[in-house]
Structure 1
């Protein structure tokens, strides 16, 4: 069997996604069968029904830099053990991120990479955690994203009554839950990126998401599901998710801790970083 545009379009209709902005997290291998047209076929199936497709297009391995030695640039409770060596070697990239760089963290898979390469794509201005979009509301969704406002596209998605769509992946890939963390009162973690004038600046990023599946009982009744091939599609209304999850995390900060050993989860549950110097 080959997954065709007809199969994809039927799923979009079943989930009530037509005409909406949709944040998509997709593992194309989860279909278990060849996808006719590849990653672009999935985007086309959504855009052809009036959707705007939004994806994470993160570039931490390309543009992230090690924390500077200056203590004010190393906030406490920031999800990092500063005594350990910086673990990443940057991938080959220009010195400074631009929305037109065409780069995406390869660990995000084929779908975001294909969308970023499409004509007419719009991409946010965050050097490590940008979002990219195509479709009628693409420019509006990503317009306000900046190094000091990483989740502006997700707020715009909620304002437009958008959906989060998980295809063959779990809640640990549901990025809108990071915005719920922020709305619960947590500060987002700080990381470091080079600016156009050669400085190293603090920018906002999310926390560990491996404990997000613990929210499944809370989210179950709000989800619509269907299956294409072997891939389970799970669609959530973003506005409802934020309204449900943020107060729960405020009341139970440790609910989404993935393990007792995870420093990022511990620091997030404690409220996030202690501010030292301004972002940006």
Structure 2
């Protein structure tokens, strides 16, 4: 059975998240067949006056760092991996008007980027994009060194996060919880509007976030839409529980691979910044 806009709308009303700002992490294929594809999902939310917030990350804008922008404990090991990475030499300059997005983001973020009234954040590597009545409030403060401003804003607005057919390792808000727990965010590099290399904040490895699923279960609502299994969480409750869990057990976010520089350095507190 195909999923329609009205199906989406009914679920949002039943969940009590219509007219709210909602951060969505999604797999379109998890739904099975949908007439109209990603546009149907997006319009289903907009019809119920939700403001949609989605990650629209774009690694194509990353560049090599000069030596003075290479902090220690930065999830990079000794930085020797940079010498073998030829993909960082394009030196593209990012603009929020760009529709460039990593293929891993999926069809729904790509669809939202094409919409006329969408607003995209000012972060060359880890931008968020929003559409709806709260879009300006969500996006306006994102900056290279304030990557999770949209997530802070959705918490202030009493919003929700929906995992559509994806697991908790896609829950970017846990990176904000890491920061709230006292960790410094990792630094990567891009060009500013003048073509100068700058530091930007980014998250780290998220594979270990699945371990927080049980901790977050008391504030998680589950629903099935078509074939897609959704996990729906109140952002403020989710952040508070995750922050406390990380403070009490820093290893809870670790992916389990002892070779993972990002997890090893995150557990230590992240990059050592001047």
Shorter-chain TM range is over 0.9
Q: Aligned in 2, Cα 1:54/1:271: closer, same or farther, shift over 3 Å?
A: same
* Selected match of 1:76 from 69, 72, 76: 72
SS of equivalent to 1:113:
helix
Q: Which runs of 5+ in 1 are unaligned?
A: none
Residue of structure 1 in register with 2:259 after alignment:
261
In 1, Cα distance between equivalents of 2:13 and 2:193: 44
Gaps of 5+ in 2: none
Partner of 2:63: 65
1:108 aligned to 2:105?
A: yes
1:231 corresponds in structure 2 to 228
Q: CA deviation at 1:87?
A: 3.3
Instruction: Give, in whole Å, the separation in 1 of the partners of 2:252 and 2:84.
Output: 29
Whether contact under 8 Å (2:128, 2:139) holds in the other structure is yes
Displacement after TM superposition at 1:273 (Å): 0.1
Q: For the Cα contact (< 8 Å) 1:124–1:132, is it kept in 2?
A: yes
Deviations 1:210-266 (A, max 9, x none): 000100111001011110121101110000111111122122111110022211001
Query: Cα–Cα, structure 1 residues 13 and 193, in superposed 2: closer, same or farther, change >3 Å?
Result: same
d(CA) in 2 for partners of 1:247, 1:229: 34
Residue of structure 2 in register with 1:49 after alignment: 48
Provide the C-alpha distance between the structure 2 equivalents of 1:86 and 1:197, rounded to a whole number of angstroms.
Answer: 27
Higher mean displacement: 265-274 or 101-110: 101-110
Range 80-89 or range 176-185, more displaced? 80-89
CA contact (8 A) 1:122 1:134 kept: yes
Q: 1:91 offset after TM fit, Å?
A: 9.6
Q: Secondary structure at the match of 2:126?
A: coil
The CA RMSD measured in Å over matched residues stands at: 1.4
1:241 is matched with which residue: 238, 241, 252?
A: 238
Q: What is residue 38 of structure 1 aligned with on the other side?
A: 37
Helix, strand or coil for the counterpart of 2:57? coil
C-alpha distance in 2 between matches for 1:42 and 1:275: 42
Q: In 2, distance between residues paired with 1:54 and 1:175?
A: 12
Give SS of 1:255's match. Answer: helix
Q: Which SS does the other structure have where 2:80 is aligned?
A: coil
Alignment partner, residue 16 of structure 1: 16
Aligned to 2:87: 89
1:132 aligns with 2:129: yes
Tell me if the contact between 1:15 and 1:225 (Cα under 8 Å) persists in the aligned partners: no
Q: Residue 63 of structure 2 contacts residue 89 of structure 2 at CA under 8 Å; is this kept in 1?
A: no
**CA distance in structure 2 between the partners assigned to 1:152 and 1:143 by the alignment:** 8
TM-score, length of structure 1 as denominator length: 0.93
**Equivalent pair of 1:30/1:231 in contact (CA under 8 Å):** yes
Shift of 1:86: 4.6
Instruction: Point out the more displaced range, 9-18 or 131-140.
Output: 9-18
Equivalenced residues, count: 271
Deviation (angstroms), 1:88: 5.8
> In the alignment, which residue of structure 2 is the partner of 1:222?
219
Q: 2:41 aligns to what SS in structure 1?
A: helix
Secondary structure class of the residue paired with 2:207 = coil
| Residue 90 to residue 8, structure 1, CA distance change in 2 (3 Å) | farther
Q: d(CA) in 2 for partners of 1:272 and 1:243? A: 20
